[in-house]
Amino acid sequence: EKVPAYTGPLAVLVNRYSASASEIFAGAIQDYHRGLIIGQNTFGKGTVQNLIPLDSWSRKPVDGQLTVTIGKFYRITGQSTQHRGVIPNVVLPSPINPKQVGEADLWRSLPYDRIDGVPFQLSTSYSAPVPSIAQLDAEEAARAKRDPNYAWLVGD
Tell whether 108 is covered by a domain.
Answer: yes
- Cβ neighbors of 14 (< 8 A, separation 6 or more) are 22, 23, 26, 37, 38, 39, 40, 41, 42, 86, 88
Tell whether 4 is covered by a domain.
Answer: no
pLDDT digits (tens, 9 = 90+) for 89-137: 988 888 888 889 999 988 889 999 999 999 998 877 665 566 777 887 7
Q: Which of 18, 22, 45, 80 is catalytic?
A: 45
Stated pTM of the model: 0.80
pLDDT digits (tens, 9 = 90+) for 43-69: 999 999 999 988 877 788 888 899 999
Asked if residues 23 and 86 have their Cβ atoms less than 8 Å apart, the reply is yes
- Structural domains in the chain (count): 1
Q: How many CA atoms lie within 13 A of 148 on its CB side?
A: 0
Tell whether 2 is covered by a domain.
Answer: no
Tell whether 1 is covered by a domain.
Answer: no
Tell whether 84 is covered by a domain.
Answer: yes
> 116 catalytic, yes or no?
no
> 145 catalytic, yes or no?
no
Tell whether 125 is covered by a domain.
Answer: yes
Tell whether 5 is covered by a domain.
Answer: no
Tell whether 112 is covered by a domain.
Answer: yes
> 45 catalytic, yes or no?
yes
- Coil, strand or helix: which one is 80? strand
Task: Identify the domain containing residue 74 by its residue range.
Answer: 11-154
Q: Which of 2, 18, 22, 31 is catalytic?
A: 31
Q: Which of 20, 94, 109, 123 is catalytic?
A: 20
Asked if residues 85 and 96 have their Cβ atoms less than 8 Å apart, the reply is no
